[in-house]
Amino acid sequence: MTITDQQPLGSPFSVTSTAEDVMAGLDLSGATAVVTGGYSGLGLETTRGLAAAGARVIVPARRPGLARAALADVEGCDVIPMDLADLDSVRAATSQINDSIDRLDLLMAVAGVMATPERRVGPGWEGQLAVNHFGHFTLACELYPLLAAAGGARVVVNSSAGHTLTDVRWHDPHFRTGYDKWLAYGQAKTANALFAVQLDGLGHNDGVRAFAPHPGKIITGLQREMTLEEQIERGWVDEHGTVIGADFKTPSQGAATGLWAATSPLLDGRGGLYLEDCDIARVSAPAAPMDDGGVRAYAIDPDGAARLWELSIAATGATPVMR
């Protein structure tokens, strides 16, 4: 991927397109997908869209009982336990997946946390980076042989416009010198985008392509760590918790860009790209407002992506077995 590839290509879909719009007429019979967070919010819409098209969907879930209840009416769906904050749990889940399938066509990294209070995970990692990035990094590395075996797999790692808040804080990625929940979120979303860049660069010879979509602004369970007062102050909801922001998407609209990334023939032969509103995003200026859209150059920088990859290997001990 080069910076010149990061240009809109004229998709037939748009900011208002839904999961149903994107998946209309697609037949995924015989395909297998893994969807993290696939039982609530955007993940649930993603699971429903893939399953309705005929795919077998595996949903690793931190709360498997809740996941099974939410997915009770979805055919072709399997739930297995997994906690992204616990790498032993991630490895146990990937072992179970490796034992049950011989190829993986789609890996959808939809689960995530946002603006959480300071939490330490594992050996003292900052919690948002650990859950949003290290957990998914380990998952993708452990499942890489299945992705390579598919001969055309796609990995979709949800990023966010929140990446505009900060590049990776190379000097202090775990906030040892003072915690800021929004900078921690922004760093994790930048990490998601950079992970897609490097995974695509390393995996494309095996047919493994990766993308990082920004789903848009949606009120889902992602906001569960924020108080009602915080959401009111940001102009997201009223005092009753009702969404009032005019630029908010429905969960189905929010899932559309990830599903487009997973299935669109327009993306054949492409990868390592940041997407928004069912198209490739343009590169944004360093000081452009977050809500103006686009991707910061640092979030698709190959050198930053390679640096993050090495940091992630050192932290997790995970590395994919490339052909």
> What does the pLDDT look like over 48-86, one tens digit per residue?
999 999 999 999 999 999 999 999 999 999 999 999 999
Contact 105, 31 (CB under 8 A): yes
Contact 2, 283 (CB under 8 A): no
Catalytic residue positions? 185
Tell if the pTM clears 0.85, that is, is over it: yes
Beta bridge partners of residue 212, listed in sequence order: 274
Task: Quickly count: other Cβ atoms within 10 Å of residue 239's Cβ.
Answer: 8
Mean pLDDT of the chain: 92
DSSP 101-157: -S--SEEEE-----SPPP-EETTTEEHHHIIIIIHHHHHHHHHHHHHHHHTS-EEEE
Two tokens, residue 144:
């890489």
Residue 306 has pLDDT above 60, yes or no: yes
Give the pLDDT band of residue 119 (cuts 50, 70, 90).
very high
The pLDDT tens digits for 126-147 are 999 999 999 999 999 999 999 9
Residues 58 and 229: their CA atoms lie apart, in Å, by: 36
More confident residue, 179 or 237: 179
Residues 265 and 320: their CA atoms lie apart, in Å, by: 26
The per-residue pLDDT for 299 is 98
The pLDDT tens digits for 195-205 are 999 999 999 99
Give the pLDDT band of residue 274 (cuts 50, 70, 90).
very high
Specify burial of residue 215 (Cβ count, 10 A radius: 0-12, 13-18, 19+). Answer: buried
The per-residue pLDDT for 233 is 60
Residue 227: partners with Cβ closer than 8 Å, 6 or more residues away = none
Sign of CA pseudo-dihedral 44, 110, 49, 246: positive
Task: Quickly count: other Cβ atoms within 10 Å of residue 254's Cβ.
Answer: 27
